Amino acid sequence: MGPMNLPVRVVHAADLVPADPSPGMARQSAFELPKLWAGQVETAPGAVSGWHHHDRNESSLYVVSGIMRFEFEGHDGYLDAHAGDFIYVPPFTVHRESNPTDETSVAVIARFGGGTPTVNVEQPPPSHRG
């Protein structure tokens, strides 16, 4: 029985493969199954990603190092997640990430739903709250 046929498997850091890029973000996939995608993202110092969403997938991120700043449709301003924080991104939520620091940020990602991992889109119109 080869290693890929085992019910439990380990994907080593050296075996991550480049995946679904957005401008300013380097994503790497550990594995992609019919309903689950797992990997990591590195965001360079000062980088701002392009606007995107993750189709019907629910996304969970865990910030390993640095700060990830999130802007998203329908919300004025941003939310910052620091090392040790978890982030939840609902399906179809148009957002972008940035790194406001001078060190690379790293986060581990798990997406559930089986949709397209990343859909790059145009910037949404500004929200108008009354």
Select 13-120's CATH number: 1.10.3720.10, 2.30.40.10, 2.60.120.10, 3.40.50.12780. Answer: 2.60.120.10
* Sequence-ordered strand ranges (E) for the chain: 17-22, 25-32, 36-43, 52-53, 58-65, 67-72, 79-82, 86-89, 95-98, 105-112, 119-120
| Percent of the chain topping pLDDT 90 | 76
Bridge partners for 112 per DSSP: 36, 58
Q: Residue 4's pLDDT band (boundaries 50, 70, 90)?
A: low
Over its C-alpha atoms, the chain yields an Rg (Å, rounded) of 15
- Among candidates 12, 21, 128, which has minimal Cα distance to 76? 128
d(CA 16, CA 87): 22
Q: What is the pLDDT of residue 6?
A: 72
d(CA 89, CA 82): 16
Residue 82 has pLDDT above 50, yes or no: yes
Q: What is the pLDDT of residue 3?
A: 56
Lowest-confidence region among 17-26, 46-55, 116-125 = 17-26
For the chain, the structural domain boundaries read: 13-120
Q: Is 67 helix (H, G, I), strand (E, B) or coil?
A: strand
Which tokens sit at 65?
């190092």
- In tens, the pLDDT along 96-119 reads 999 999 999 999 999 999 998 889
